[in-house]
């Protein structure tokens, strides 16, 4: 797999994780209340939000490291 392809895949993964992390905070009627005090898509918010955003940041950092490596 080329460096450019791997970089693009990591960018897509980081974007998906960031969007999913923010989606956990969207108000939605559900059976349980989140720890934030209102009904959300994910009853584990804000813990799931933090986890997904950290994983997105990790994917972004790995992508940045791969892009900074010298050419072969």
Q: What is the pLDDT of residues 53-67, one digit of tens each?
A: 999 999 999 999 999
Tokens 């986890």 belong to: 51
Say what the pLDDT of residue 9 is: 96
Contact yes or no for 59/65 (Cβ under 8 A) = no
Neighbours of 49 (CB within 10 A): 20
The fraction of the chain above a pLDDT of 90, given in percent, is 56
For residue 10, CA distances in Å to 27, 53, 61 come to: 29, 14, 9
Average pLDDT, the chain: 90
Contact yes or no for 2/13 (Cβ under 8 A) = no
Say what the pLDDT of residue 38 is: 85
Q: What is the pLDDT of residues 12-52, one digit of tens each?
A: 999 999 999 999 888 888 777 888 888 888 888 889 999 99
DSSP 40: B
**What residues form DSSP beta bridges with 40?**
27
């Amino acid at each position: 797999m080329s460096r450019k392809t791997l970089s693009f895949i990591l960018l897509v993964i980081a974007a998906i994780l960031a969007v999913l992390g923010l989606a956990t905070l969207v108000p939605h009627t559900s059976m349980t209340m989140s720890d934030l005090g209102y009904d959300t898509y994910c009853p584990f918010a804000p813990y799931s939000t933090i986890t997904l955003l950290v994983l997105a940041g990790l994917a972004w950092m790995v992508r940045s490291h791969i892009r900074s490596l010298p050419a072969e």
